[in-house]
């Protein structure tokens, strides 16, 4: 049984068909890429998978359980974590507080326990702090745990967002443009982090990315989306040489 199965997922906004008959199957440990020009519908696919948008048609099955129509927090609890193309940060909070905030989705002591939980609340708070610090160490930010997130360099903020997504214990991690705005050094760091996460947790990863070289090096299979429809799917070499991908995505030869 696949971990994730998406069947004929479609969405319309008025007369605009934003995504049409999108299909995807993923198993634990898969690492896939989704490419395409701006406006192709890539983030819309992520938003339907995570409950931000409700599909017009189609199904999203997680462990054979239909999740379309669920709220984002319910989908996160079932095992889909994500980052966003635009960073969602609270600059007055520390790096550690950001990651701990995501850990609160797993607490068991409830509102009463928050006020009167005593030892149980303290135990869970300690566990959350330790978990958050372990995740920050994974993305090489543990030494910045007490800094305000607004003081971090942009690339470090991106890495922190990955740690925050991991704090929800996802089975599938969706990364939306994880290298957007990065310089070459930051690009190498984020590549290393994604490989570490994949190796450490053996989770499925689906990423949206404009940098073809990055996707080709990282992903086992890639889909190319244009005007809401998949025009090509296959291994990196197939996508690299696919004439429709070259024409629609770049309009020229792919350069490396």
Q: What is the mean pLDDT of residues 176-202?
A: 90
Task: Average the pLDDT over 207-224 and give the result.
Answer: 93
Instruction: Please say whether the beta carbons of 195 and 218 come within 8 A.
Output: yes
CATH superfamily for domain 4-91+165-250: P-loop containing nucleotide triphosphate hydrolases (3.40.50.300)
| Position 117 pLDDT exceeds 90 | no
Q: Write out pLDDT tens, residues 28-76.
A: 999 999 999 888 999 999 999 999 999 999 999 999 999 988 999 999 9
Q: Identify the helix (H) or strand (E) that includes residue 46.
A: helix 42-49
**Which range has highest mean pLDDT (103-112, 121-130, 160-169)?**
160-169
Q: How far apart are CA 171 and CA 76, in angstroms?
A: 10
CA 124 – CA 108 distance, rounded (Å): 8
**Is the pLDDT assigned to residue 21 strictly greater than 90?**
yes
pTM for the structure as a whole: 0.89
Whole-number percent of the chain with pLDDT over 70: 90
Whether 256 has a pLDDT exceeding 60, the answer reads no
Tell whether the model's pLDDT for residue 146 goes beyond 90.
Answer: yes
Q: What is the mean pLDDT of residues 79-107?
A: 85
Neighbours of 192 (CB within 10 A): 13
pLDDT reported for residue 86: 83
Residue 120 confidence (pLDDT): 63
**Dihedral of the alpha carbons of 66, 70, 75, 78, in degrees to the nearest 10:** -50
- Give the closest residue to 52 by CA, choosing from 79, 35, 18, 76: 76
Displacement of CA 226 from its chain's centroid (Å): 20
Q: Are 69 and 56 in contact (CB under 8 A)?
A: no
Nearest to 135 by CA among 205, 202, 196, 208: 196
Q: Supply the pLDDT for residue 254.
A: 47
Whether residue 106 is predicted with pLDDT greater than 80 in this model: the reply is: no
Say yes or no to pLDDT of 201 above 60. Answer: yes
In the numeric block, the tokens 């192709």 are attached to 40
Q: Which candidate, 50, 51, 22, places its Cα nearest to that of 226? A: 22
Q: Are 6 and 206 in contact (CB under 8 A)?
A: no
pLDDT of residue 108: 56
**233 vs 200, residue with greater confidence:** 233
Q: What is the mean pLDDT of the chain?
A: 88
- Torsion sign over Cα 190, 40, 172, 96: positive
In 3D space, the residue among 198, 167, 168 whose CA is nearest the CA of residue 29 turns out to be 198
What's the pLDDT score for residue 255?
47
Percent of the chain with pLDDT over 90: 67
∠ CA 228-209-64, nearest 5°, is: 65
Specify which of 18-22, 125-129, 185-189, 210-214 reaches the highest per-range mean pLDDT: 18-22
Question: Could you tell me the two tokens for 131?
Answer: 């978990």
- pLDDT number for residue 112: 47
Burial (0-12, 13-18, 19+ Cβ within 10 Å), 227:
middle
């Amino acid at each position: 049984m696949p971990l994730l199965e998406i069947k004929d997922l479609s969405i319309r906004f008025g007369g605009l068909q934003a995504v049409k008959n999108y299909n995807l199957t993923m198993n634990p440990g898969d690492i896939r890429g989704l490419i395409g020009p701006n406006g192709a519908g890539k983030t819309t696919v992520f938003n339907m998978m995570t409950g931000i948008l409700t599909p017009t048609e189609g199904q999203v099955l997680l462990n054979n359980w239909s999740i379309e129509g669920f709220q984002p927090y319910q989908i996160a609890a079932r095992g889909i974590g994500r980052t966003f193309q635009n960073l969602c940060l609270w600059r007055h909070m520390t790096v550690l507080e950001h990651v701990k905030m995501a850990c609160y989705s797993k607490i068991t002591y409830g509102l009463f326990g928050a006020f009167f939980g005593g030892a149980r609340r303290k135990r869970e708070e300690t566990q959350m702090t330790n978990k958050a610090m372990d995740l920050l160490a994974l993305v090489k930010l543990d030494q910045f745990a007490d800094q305000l997130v607004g003081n971090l360099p942009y690339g470090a903020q991106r890495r922190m967002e990955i740690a925050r997504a991991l704090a929800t214990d996802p089975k599938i991690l969706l990364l939306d443009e994880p290298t957007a705005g990065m310089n070459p050094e930051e690009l190498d760091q984020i590549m290393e982090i994604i490989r570490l996460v994949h190796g450490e947790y053996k989770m499925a990863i689906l990423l949206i990315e404009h940098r073809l070289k990055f996707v080709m090096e990282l992903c086992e299979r890639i889909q190319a989306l244009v005007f809401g429809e998949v025009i090509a799917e296959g291994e990196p070499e197939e996508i690299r040489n696919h004439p429709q991908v070259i024409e629609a995505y770049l309009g020229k030869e792919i350069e490396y």
